[in-house]
Amino acid sequence: MYILIKNGRVIDRASGIDGIMDVLIRDSVIEKVAERIEERNYMDVRVIDAGGCFVMPGFIDMHVHLRDPGFTYKETIATGSKAAAKGGFTVICPMPNTKPVTDNPEIVSEIIKRALTESPITILPVGAVTIGQQGREVTDIKGMTESGICAISEDGKSVMNSNLYREAMKIAGECGIPVLAHCEDINLVAGGVMNMGDRSRQMGFRGISNAVEDIIAARDILLAKETGTALHLCHCSTEDSVRMIKEAKEEGLPVSGEVCPHHFTLSTDDIRENDGNYKMNPPLRSRKDVEALRQGLRDGIMDVISTDHAPHGREEKARGFEGAPFGIVGLETAAALTYTELVLQGYLTPMQMVEKMSYNPARILGIDSGTLLEGKMADVVIFNPEKEYVINAEEFISKGHNTPFHGRAVKGAVEYTIHHGKVVFPFSE
């Protein structure tokens, strides 16, 4: 069985291709990428016309929350992975802050096993750093690696005990997996719910200063230097995070960084009322921080765009800044926001979009993905850069409708997602 994708603008960082080409998929593998591939030379071939569209390696989201097991009213492996397929993702990495926490090899195996039947795309779990995310005892990182985790993370919080964290980083290094760092000094947060600044004072809420993030980012970079372990800073939101990653890279340290669409699109100025859909951790920051993140992505300092897809229930998010949980959904809006806010505004080329959403995540995770090279697994997204529409949260496949982007006009839509040679979006197929 063949799929022939014709007339699209093929953009692939690994091969350096950016041009109008055809892509031939045979069963689950990329068979050929060439200027003209004739349909009549193949039997049993389905032709997809990608004229006017970008043909890119399937997106990889290194940072999602699937809430399964434990909080399945918010999301499940099935609904989250389906939302991901709609968003153009062919690989997603769920964080371990589920109930129970992903903190041992058996749970990892269980998630991977369930994903095979419940998910249309690849799921690579992230293991916790400490047992139960309690910050007291390091997990069986070696065992979890053998079971298939792609990284460790304590996401949702930081491991405040630096000695314990260093120990875990050393083991992760021995296992050849990166550490994904949520940077938040919990003592410094002191009950803050939004960025510390004019808005928090005006609205009367306790603030979260940039130092909450920056202090732990600095510590983690120093520990990466000491251990030699690959460190990836999650959801960077401050200008100093960008600066520290730049300096770390100049020093040759194994450090990378990610930015989420909400952090490069919105600032505290966009928060109009006491709406829980603008509450996430780290919080929306100042316009100066937003500009630093955009420039960091442009200049290659920030490597990855990930969503931190964090679904929550409607009633939970209706409680405003004080009462709502942190987090917003992102899988179904990430590609359009990246294209609209960064590519159309001149911060990223389409090739850089591929780099941040496919190539770099694969490289950082050390997985054989994120490319359209011949012989590789056929994970492909066909993205229409001309389609204009207004984001409608009610149309989300995700169980979470918690987004500040409802009603926002964007350009760019995923037309097809192909995972291992199978069309997984549109769903009707």
Cβ(158)–Cβ(169) under 8 Å? no
Q: Which does 327 bind (CB under 5 to 8 A by kind): ligand DOR, Zn ion, none?
A: ligand DOR
65 near ligand DOR (CB under 6 A): yes
Contacts of 272 (CB under 8 A, 6+ apart): none
Toward Zn ion, which CB reaches closer, 216 or 255?
Answer: 216
Closest distance to ligand DOR from the beta carbon of 420 (Å): 29
Among 31, 308, 332, 341, indicate the residue that binds Zn ion (CB under 5 A).
308
Task: Identify the helix (H) or strand (E) that includes residue 417.
Answer: strand 409-419
64 near ligand DOR (CB under 6 A): no
Toward ligand DOR, which CB reaches closer, 325 or 350?
Answer: 325
**What are the distances in angstroms from CA 118 to CA 396, 398, 399?**
18, 14, 15
* Residue tagged 């808005």 (tokens): 199
Residue 389 and residue 335: Cα distance in Å, rounded?
A: 13
Closest distance to Zn ion from the beta carbon of 169 (Å): 17
- Tell me, residue by residue from 225 to 264, as one string, x for binding to ligand DOR by CB under 6 A and - for no binding: ----------------------------------------
Q: How many CB atoms lie within 10 A of CB 32?
A: 15
155 near Zn ion (CB under 5 A): yes
| Residue 308 falls in the annotated catalytic set | yes
Residue 370 and residue 305: Cα distance in Å, rounded?
A: 13
Closest distance to ligand DOR from the beta carbon of 327 (Å): 3
Size of the site for Zn ion (CB under 5 A): 3
Q: Which residue's Cβ has the minimum distance to ligand DOR?
A: 327
Size of the site for ligand DOR (CB under 6 A): 12
97 near ligand DOR (CB under 6 A): yes
Among the listed ranges 48-56, 323-331, 358-366, 410-418, the one in contact with ligand DOR (CB under 6 A) is 323-331
**What are the distances in angstroms from CA 5 to CA 25, 26, 69?**
8, 11, 38
42 near ligand DOR (CB under 6 A): no
Closest distance to Zn ion from the beta carbon of 77 (Å): 16
Helix, strand, coil percent values for the chain (each to nearest 5): 35, 25, 40
Q: How many CB atoms lie within 10 A of CB 21?
A: 23
Toward ligand DOR, which CB reaches closer, 95 or 362?
Answer: 95
Among 182, 232, 399, 419, indicate the residue that binds ligand DOR (CB under 6 A).
182
Task: Identify the helix (H) or strand (E) that includes residue 138.
Answer: none
- What is the SS3 assignment for 334-403? HHHHHHHHHHCCCCCCHHHHHHHHHHHHHHHHCCCCCCCCCCCECCEEEEEEEEEEECCHHHCCCCCCCC
102 near ligand DOR (CB under 6 A): no
156 near ligand DOR (CB under 6 A): yes
Among the listed ranges 31-39, 170-178, 324-332, 412-420, the one in contact with ligand DOR (CB under 6 A) is 324-332
Radius of gyration of the chain (CA): 21
Strand 29-34 relative to strand 17-26, pairing: antiparallel
Closest distance to Zn ion from the beta carbon of 128 (Å): 13
Cβ(51)–Cβ(397) under 8 Å? no
3-state secondary structure of 181: strand
Closest distance to ligand DOR from the beta carbon of 184 (Å): 7
155 near ligand DOR (CB under 6 A): yes
Catalytic residue among 61, 155, 214, 308: 308
220 near Zn ion (CB under 5 A): no
Among the listed ranges 138-146, 204-212, 321-329, 363-371, the one in contact with ligand DOR (CB under 6 A) is 321-329
Tell me the one-letter amino acid at 202.
Answer: Q
Residue 331 and residue 397: Cα distance in Å, rounded?
A: 10
Q: Which does 120 bind (CB under 5 to 8 A by kind): Zn ion, ligand DOR, none?
A: none
Toward ligand DOR, which CB reaches closer, 155 or 341?
Answer: 155
79 near ligand DOR (CB under 6 A): no
Q: How many CB atoms lie within 10 A of CB 251?
A: 10
Among 74, 182, 219, 294, indicate the residue that binds Zn ion (CB under 5 A).
182
Cβ(379)–Cβ(309) under 8 Å? no
Q: Which does 98 bind (CB under 5 to 8 A by kind): ligand DOR, Zn ion, none?
A: none
Catalytic annotation, residues: 308
Sites of contact with Zn ion (CB under 5 A): 155, 182, 308
Residues that bind ligand DOR (CB under 6 A): 65, 97, 155-156, 182, 280-281, 308, 310, 325-327
